[in-house]
Chain A
Amino acid sequence: MNDKKVELIAGTFVLLGLVLVGFLAFRIGDAHLFTRGNYTLYARFADVGGLTEGSKVRLAGVSVGTVGSITLDQKTYRAQVELILRPEIELDDDTIASVKTNGLIGDKFVSLLPGGSGIPLADGDTIIETESAVDFEGLVSKIAFGGVEN
């Protein structure tokens, strides 16, 4: 009888621990398990340069969403990025999405520069105005080594 009670308590603790670990994993992984009403936009980039699922989407430096799946378009070999945005963020179709870096070697994130065309983007639409990640190594090597003829 006593043994059973101990086992029950131990079991409860283990279960509680597992639930907490699961919750923490979601929090740290930035998964939005309990948030509803977000909407999705897509953006195609020639190069996402290390952007990953769960990277931040920022507008005026403020986090307004996260990057969902990143897939490769088999036809064009461009990266198709899913942006999961908070419902109150309304964007026009001339919004520019750019892949940026925190500092020179920091994490990658998607920065949004809102437009003013008056034509709103709806759930599932694609942002066509995009700037790919700037290849810093490429630029530095161009400056440092110059061209073939110079």
Chain B
Amino acid sequence: MKTIQIILISSFFLSASPGFAAEDPVGELSAAVDSVLETLYDKDLPAGERATALEATIEKNFSFAVIARRALGRNWGILNEAQQEEFVQLFTDLLIQSYSSGFEGGEKPEVKWTGKRTLKEGYIEISSEVTMDGSTFPVNYRMLVLKGNWQVYDVLVENVSLVGNYRKQFISMLPNGSPKEVESMLDTLRKKISEN
């Protein structure tokens, strides 16, 4: 009995070890994207539970802390620690909310994985083609190694970066970087999330 326990525990740690997880980032990402699509197009899942289910599915392969920090860019440093923590949470909720709604009905898109290239050491881009409602468009995932796992830190749809899109919006929301602007930016996010 003890031997079985040891095997089980060690296999758990092995699967979570850096070398093991980083071997096949394309396979891991495609499995993650598949389960995201399953969740989004699960007709039996109540709309209210979709966001929670989605968050649980993607948190392993998407680093929201890095995405949020990159989306703020230079303005990250003007937030204090408590504000940074709240911002990461709000931004994560915002992303999950925006992507968990708007997919109801329709055909589940088809994803074709087209390649992987190294951007620099520890950074890769995995490209795919998504066919949805009859039209095909490129979706590229940029990933970095974080705590031994490949994690997505940016997504490019039709060559437009998600991080870049939000960075532009935050730059215009914080033109002077004053504490008042930071508070009003956080407030806008809080309101947006509570509306849904």
Task: Give the B-binding residues of A (Cβ under 8 A).
Answer: 46-47, 60, 76, 92, 94, 96, 98, 113-117, 126, 128-129, 131-135, 139, 142, 146-150
Contacts and interface: CB of A to CB of B under 8 A. Distances in A.
B133 A116 contact: no
**SS of A interface (majority):** loop
B163 A142 contact: no
A92 B69 CA distance: 13
Contacts of A94: 70, 73
B68 to A, nearest CB: 11
A115 B73 contact: yes
6 contacts: A46-B159, A47-B159, A131-B161, A132-B159, A142-B135, A148-B134
Nearest to B117: A76
A148 B77 CA distance: 48
B123 A96 contact: no
B70 A134 contact: no
A96 B76 contact: no
B136 interface: yes
B119 interface: yes
Nearest to A96: B164
Contacts of B70: 94, 115-117
Contacts of B123: 128
A132 to B, nearest CB: 5
Contacts of B171: 60, 113
A131 B133 contact: no
B75 A113 contact: no
Contacts of A113: 73, 164, 167-168, 171
B94 interface: no
Interface of B: 69-70, 72-77, 117, 119-120, 123, 133-137, 142, 154, 156, 158-161, 163-164, 167-168, 171
Nearest to B161: A131
B133 A129 contact: no
Contacts of B163: 96, 129
Given A126-B120, A132-B159, A114 B164 contact: no
Nearest to A142: B135
Contact of A129 (B76, B77, B154): B154
Contacts of B119: 128
Contacts of A150: 133-135
B158 to A, nearest CB: 7
A149 B106 CA distance: 14
A126 B120 CA distance: 9
A110 to B, nearest CB: 13
B135 A147 contact: yes
Given A96-B164, A131-B161, A114 B134 contact: no
B158 A116 contact: no
B185 to A, nearest CB: 15
Given A92-B74, A131-B156, A149-B134, 20 more contacts: A76-B117, A96-B167, A113-B164, A115-B167, A116-B69, A116-B76, A116-B77, A117-B70, A126-B120, A128-B119, A128-B120, A128-B123, A129-B154, A131-B161, A131-B164, A146-B135, A147-B133, A149-B133, A150-B133, A150-B134
